[in-house]
Amino acid sequence: METATATLDARRARIPIALAAGEALSPPGGAGRQLLVLRKGWAARCHRLSDGRRQISALFVAGDLCDPLWLAGTPHHTVEALTAIEAVPIAESELQPRGEGPADLVRELAADVGHAASWTVSLGRKSALERIAHLFCDLLVRLGRSTAVGRSCPLPLSHDDIADATGLTAQHVQRLLADLSGAGLARVARHKLSVPDFARLARTARFDLADVPRRPDWLARV
Amino acid sequence: METATATLDARRARIPIALAAGEALSPPGGAGRQLLVLRKGWAARCHRLSDGRRQISALFVAGDLCDPLWLAGTPHHTVEALTAIEAVPIAESELQPRGEGPADLVRELAADVGHAASWTVSLGRKSALERIAHLFCDLLVRLGRSTAVGRSCPLPLSHDDIADATGLTAQHVQRLLADLSGAGLARVARHKLSVPDFARLARTARFDLADVPRRPDWLARV
DNA sequence: CGTGAGCTTGAATTGATTCAATTGGAGTGG
DNA sequence: CCACTCCAATTGAATCAATTCAAGCTCACG
């Protein structure tokens, strides 16, 4: 009983980490390997080639476990805050399944593998327009804005960010955003994404809902 | 003591699954979720878009855990044998960390996420030539053929397969293989890949060894 | 042998990039 | 309140990488 209370207190005492846009996130130190649970803001996992080309391989939004890749060993990438960030550290040991706990880190990571695979499909076989539409669908779903008919969500991404996530150039992104807007599929203005008809956007993106990992409840409670 | 022996016997009694080239692998039934450890042959995780476009998001070779994605839930992809296959089932429970066991499935999956990210970078930001070179480097390393200077490995992939893994067309793959061969970087003939100078190929591919998951020892012992 | 899948080659086309300005908007300081 | 700056967004033109379409070719296998 005392131990349980102590643990609870320790959790309540968890100190949030705050970062400004542009700063880099790194695995918090402390006993054992640690990850972050993103509370507020957006972050991106960035990879840079020797000649400067950049690719974003994952976007993190509030509620996401960040960064699963830190569990694999020496990171060869950076995680950059795209907006002001607030995050709380969580030890790997707290994420392991134990006793009655539903802490299914394995399922979470497997879902991440699936999510990464769907980006692979997008980058490998979809047209530029489909890729951007796919990205928007993915984000709407993950932000929990996909159940209503008229949908919108914040989109604190520059054209450069979108380009680096979709493997395009910022100029081409700009042209395609104009196309999407003209077709009434999606409109981006002032860091806000509006999608009048999600199903139609999903169809043009050939987007599959099953590819997006649903967030496990236990993560929100740590 | 008796329990340990029984477990050992059960493991020895594990019945290998054999499949011919072209057949589809599926998660073996039985108590609990099960995966396969590939013993012989090659397989590919394939995704198909509604209009027929195909993307390969992972290649599996002997020793690989196949398919981690089965742990995530309803699979929305297929795993196809590219050659004749031999594989043994393994229960998820056997892969969980327990007591003294080093069965670190979490680390394994995290490494898979990293591996997927490196494909994302490849597809998103590398040229067609770099992508193919990247694929070859990746395979050489995973097949354990990367430590010598003159290297070669079996390559039971058609141009179509390579194209679907790299997001290109078979015709373009053909032209680039000719280029690679002409540049003395890699030669493919009769289902065999030969690389005279791995370091040079890795450099043109901007390939990073750290992106390739090293196979944990315990997997070979199940 | 004959046959067909996979490989090879060429020419025309397209989707996306690159380069080069120009415009717009938010923030700063006078 | 207005100039000034800076960065992001927009637009156009030229170029390029990769695709598409269309033949042939080769060779492993029945």
The correct answer on CATH 2.60.120.10 for the domain covering B2-95 is: yes
Angle, CA of B176, B178 and B183, to the nearest 5°: 95
Q: Are B109 and A116 in contact (CB under 8 A)?
A: no
Give me the average pLDDT of each 10-residue run along chain B (222 residues). Answer: 46 76 88 86 96 97 94 91 94 66 74 97 98 97 72 94 98 97 94 94 95 81 66
The reported pTM is 0.90
Nucleotide of closest approach to B127 (CA, C1'): D17
Would the CA dihedral through B35, B39, B40, B44 be positive or negative? positive
Strand partners of residue B43? B60, B81
Which CATH number is B114-211's, of 3.10.105.10, 2.60.120.10, 3.40.50.1820, 2.170.130.10? 2.60.120.10
For B214, the closest chain A residue by CA position comes to: A72
HSE, CB side, 13 Å, CA atoms: give it for residue B112.
Answer: 29
Picking from B57, B121, B208, the nearest residue to A121 by CB comes out as B57
pLDDT tens by residue, A58-91: 999 999 999 999 999 888 999 999 999 999 998 8
pLDDT tens by residue, A156-171: 999 999 999 999 999 9
Q: Is the CB of B174 under 7 A from strand C?
A: yes
CA distances from A175 to A99, A193, B118 (A): 53, 16, 28
| Cα pseudo-dihedral B112, B115, B119, B121, rounded to 10 | 120
Test the B interface: residue of A33, A57, A135 with most B CBs within 10 Å: A57
Q: Do domains B2-95 and B114-211 have the same CATH topology?
A: yes
Domain residue spans of chain B? 2-95, 114-211
Neighbours of A2 (CB within 10 A): 6
Residue A1 pLDDT: 43
The correct answer on CATH 3.40.80.10 for the domain covering A123-211 is: no
**Residues of A with Cβ-Cβ distance to B45 under 8 angstroms:** 117
Token pair of B95, please? 């892969």
